[in-house]
Amino acid sequence: MADGRGWGWGEEAHAVELPPHALAFLRETIGAGDVRRSPVALDDVRLPPVALGDRARGRIAAVVGAEHVRDDREARVRHAAGRGYPDLVRLRSGALETAPDAIVWPGSHEEVVELLSTCAQERVAVVPFGGGTSVVGGVEALRGDCAAVIALDLGRMDALLALDERSLTASFEGGLRGPAADALLAARGLTLGHLPQSYEYVSLGGAVATRSAGQASTGFGRIDELLVGVRLAAPAGELELPPRPPSAAGPQLRELVAGSEGVLGVITRVDLRVRPVAPWRYEGWACRSFEEGVEALRALEQHGCAPAVARLSDEEETRLSLALAGSGGLAARAGRLYLRVRGRAQGCLVIVGWSGEPAEVAQARAAANRILRAHGAVALGSPPGEAWARGRFRAPYLRDALLDHGVMAETLETAGQWSGLTALHDAVRDALRDALGARGAAPLVMCHVSHLYPTGASLYFTFLARQQQGSELEQWRAAKHAASDAIAAAGGTITHHHAIGVDHAPWMAGEVGETGLELLRAAKARLDPQGIMNPGKLLERGASAPAA
């Protein structure tokens, strides 16, 4: 991330500490929490030497202005990695094997075009860098077979270019961040409605490049459903697709740009649907079991009355949420919740979020509540919902706090058809338990459903385990491979919204077939014949192939 804490998430002002009861819980459940590990200071981070030659640097500076090129330690560290677990392990240890040789801030589409052409001539790899929040290695400074690598930071390209209030579409430069976009739209009573957990840092171009879902995808649609036009600058051409409603003019090329993760080019403009600002209302429900909860959500979605936000925690996630809430801060609310959920035995927490004009919401909510009750769910009122909404962007800070105490905290996600969803859930949970247990660090594995579709839903797993000091990355790799193999075997997608990056690349052929991969490579060969765009991501099998 270009901002804030160089070794973790966001800003120091929002850092959290684990309270004593949480540490006690971790000690009891996974035998962890007793150590204290601090990240190394920025000045102590070891970086590879700068490999960018003077001529190339001079040509790049001539395109964007010398003041928009940096290669100092701070800029390099801040652009060296995303915020996946392996990134955090490396950043905290201070041992960065890769870092960009320079960071470049172009100011316009035209500058990006010229910059990419220059880099292609100079054999300099380009890593497009938006919010820098990738959790799958998407912004790792890999150079492929190039001589050097730069991070192309889109931070200066943050304008609202056009707003069509009748068509409810807006055109933004690719580097604009979520909150800034919403602030610009708010002046006209509009909002984007795209709320990934990385909302505070995500760039709109990055969201499109990674097919971000957003916590309100059930109601508002994923970013690829909001996308109505796009502009891509590539080393060997430009793709200009103006905002348009659906069409039958051949294959939909927008869909080739969405999810392209920087390997085809740089997204300089996104045209997105916008919507009127409307009040939110969050509520909690308790279901008797995960299976019953899944059936309730399926019914909501297939009857067309799902709320904008719909989340169902499994038994383990529900139990952990209540345990971590403990007797501190959130005690009053969490306590009430806890008691009511206990009445549901091994209950599961559901959070729903409604957005819209009160009269419209009242109608939809009444229909949804009937369905929830028919599936055995019990209303918990607004406190659990409001508590979730307040804390919705805080989980990455909690992960940093867990790392401070030697706890591996990692997330991964998939999606599958409704008919196989609970089997997919069980297969991934069991794979994680087995893989980490076999290494002597039995984990807590929890999961929630958080994005509903008529045909299926997402599963988002969080797992906690005692870090194996000195072999943190091997431990992570064992868990990641086991979970990914289990996902593939159970017919889930290898990623619902985190994207492919480096981490999921070994499973990409299983997802789209060798022919599918070759079609994407054919597109890349056309747009990026020198292969300078984001090497090592999405299309390359990576260092370690999956288990057969």
Among 12, 13, 38, 166, binds a second copy (CB under 8 A): 166
529 binds a second copy (CB under 8 A): no
Verify binding: residue 168, a second copy, rule CB under 8 A.
yes
Name residues contacting a second copy, limited to 204-223 (CB under 8 A): 210-213, 222
Does 327 sit near a second copy (CB under 8 A)?
A: no
Beta partners for residue 466, in sequence order = 407
Q: Report the C-alpha gap between 453 and 446 in whole angstroms.
A: 21
Min separation Cβ 513 and a second copy, Å? 5
Residues numbered 330-389 forming contacts with a second copy, rule: CB under 8 A = 360, 363, 367
| Smaller CB separation from a second copy, 238 or 434 | 238
Near a second copy by CB under 8 A: residue from 167, 289, 346, 369: 167
3-state helix, strand, coil in the chain (%, to 5): 40, 20, 40
Bridge partners of residue 69, in order along the sequence: 104
Q: Which of residues 432-471 bind a second copy (CB under 8 A)?
A: 451, 453-458
Q: What is the identity of the amino acid at 122?
A: E
- Amino acid at the residue 56: A
Quick check: 496 binds a second copy (CB under 8 A)? yes
Q: How far is the CB of 125 from a second copy (least distance, A)?
A: 19
Specify the DSSP element, H or E, that contains 336: helix 331-342
Tokens 């390997």 sit at which residue? Answer: 263
Cβ closer to a second copy: 94 or 229? 229
Query: Pick from 87, 111, 122, 261: which binds a second copy (CB under 8 A)?
Result: 261
Least Å from the CB of residue 456 to a second copy: 4
Question: Residue 499 interacts with a second copy (CB under 8 A)?
Answer: yes
Nearer residue to a second copy within complex by CB, 45 or 207: 207
User: Taking contact as CB under 8 A, which single stretch among the options 84-92, 247-255, 320-328, 430-438 is the one that binds a second copy?
Assistant: 247-255
Question: Taking CB under 8 A as the criterion, which residues in 134-163 touch a second copy?
Answer: none
Rounded to whole angstroms, the Cα distance separating 452 from 474 reads 34
Candidates 103-111, 255-263, 333-341, 427-435: pick the segment binding a second copy (CB under 8 A).
255-263
Which residue, 174 or 243, has its beta carbon nearer to a second copy? 243
Q: How far is the CB of 130 from a second copy (least distance, A)?
A: 15
Task: Please state the φ and ψ torsions of residue 516, each to the nearest 5 degrees.
Answer: -60, -45
Question: Torsion angle, CA of 521/527/529/532, rounded to 10 degrees?
Answer: -90
Distance CA 293, CA 311 (A): 10
Task: From 186-194, 236-244, 435-443, 540-548, give the range in contact with a second copy by CB under 8 A.
Answer: 236-244
**Torsion angle in degrees (nearest 10) through CA of 291, 293, 295, 297:** -150
Burial (CB count <10 Å: 0-12, 13-18, 19+), residue 8: buried
- HSE-CB at 16 with a 13 A cutoff on CA atoms is 19
Contact pick of 38, 304, 470, 548 for a second copy (by CB under 8 A): 304
Beta-ladder partners of 349: 286
Q: Does 120 bind a second copy (CB under 8 A)?
A: no
Beta bridge partners of 149: 125
Q: CB 210 → a second copy: shortest distance, Å?
A: 6
Q: How far is the CB of 495 from a second copy (least distance, A)?
A: 5
Question: Phi/psi at 84 (nearest 5 deg)?
Answer: -80, 170
- Least Cβ distance, residue 420 to a second copy (angstroms): 8
> By CB under 8 A, is residue 522 in contact with a second copy?
yes
Task: Give dist(CA 267, CA 281) in Å, integer.
Answer: 34
Q: Dump the DSSP string for 379-437.
A: EEEHHHHHHHHHHTT-HHHHHHHHHHTTEEEEEEEEEEEGGGHHHHHHHHHHHHHHHHH
Question: Among residues 338 and 453, whose Cβ is nearest to a second copy?
Answer: 453
Closer of 90 and 222 to a second copy (Cβ): 222
The count of other CB atoms within 10 Å of the CB of residue 426 is: 15
Check binding of 61 to a second copy (CB under 8 A).
Answer: no
Phi, psi at 380, each rounded to 5°? -110, 5
Tokens 């080739």 sit on residue? 256
Of the candidates 234, 225, 237, 227, the residue with the CA atom closest to the CA atom of residue 204: 227
Alpha helices of 69-135 — where are they, by DSSP H? 73-78, 85-93, 109-122
425 binds a second copy (CB under 8 A): no
CB closer to a second copy, 221 vs 335: 221
Q: Is 292 in the site for a second copy (CB under 8 A)?
A: no
Of 11, 71, 158, 238, the residue at the interface with a second copy (CB under 8 A) is 238
For the record, the structure tokens of 478 come out as 């064992």
Q: Which is nearer to a second copy, 251 or 470 (CB)?
A: 251
Q: Which residue of 260, 321, 450, 467 would you call a contact of a second copy, by CB under 8 A?
A: 260
Kindly tell me which of 214 and 384 has the beta carbon lying closer to a second copy: 214
| 196 or 406: CB nearest a second copy | 196
Site for a second copy, residues 404 to 423, rule: CB under 8 A:
415-419
Torsion of CA 413, 417, 418, 422, to 10 degrees: -50
When asked if residue 237 is in the footprint of a second copy (CB under 8 A), the reply is yes
14 touches 96 (CB < 8 A): no
Piece of 284-292, 316-324, 377-385, 505-513 that binds a second copy (CB under 8 A): 505-513
What does the block give as tokens for 214?
A: 């957003």
Q: Report the residue number, 335 or 491, with the smaller CB distance to a second copy.
A: 491
